[in-house]
Amino acid sequence: MNWRLRLRKHGVIALFAELVIASWCVMTFTHEMGHIIGGWIGGATLIDFTLAPWRLPYSLHSPDPLPLLTLWAGPVLGVLIPVIFASLVRRRWAWFIADFCLLANGVYLAVAWWSGDRFLDTPRLIQAGAYPLWIAGYCILTISVGYYRFRADCIGILR
């Protein structure tokens, strides 16, 4: 392998790594901001939060008169904000991030459901009265569309 080909290959890998890191940061930020915005709209009092992407972000509301709004706003806005942004910007990198967010939000709710950890969103959604079919539908839709689109993004960049 000559040095030009090696340099080009390392450049693509560096670009891919940067996009994955950016995607993770955008996903955690928009998801958690969704909870904060949902709580604010529903009249909840935010008592503590962290948006740091290097650990699991969280927000605590008490009292929370509309916990379903607060809880659903995280995964819904965590998908809608990046998708709307990518639709407006119309750049490949923006769609990579939006598609990552689509897949990651669905996988998060599915894994949280499977784990049963009472502090994660899915058990809290169920405890607050969310219909499991709505959660399953959200997971199936976001994971299937997100996987299809994100896989195509990865192939396109790494090709």
Q: What is the pLDDT of residue 7?
A: 47
- Is the pLDDT higher at 12 or at 48? 48
pLDDT tens per residue, range 77-94: 999 999 999 999 999 999
User: Residue 110 is part of which domain span?
Assistant: 3-158
**Average pLDDT of the residues in 133-154:** 98
Tokens of 55: 């650990």
Q: Tell me what the pLDDT averaged over the chain comes to.
A: 93
Whether this model's pTM surpasses 0.85? yes
Q: How many domains in the chain?
A: 1
Sign of the dihedral defined by the CA atoms of residues 71, 115, 102, 12, in that order: positive
Evaluate if residue 3 carries a pLDDT over 50: no
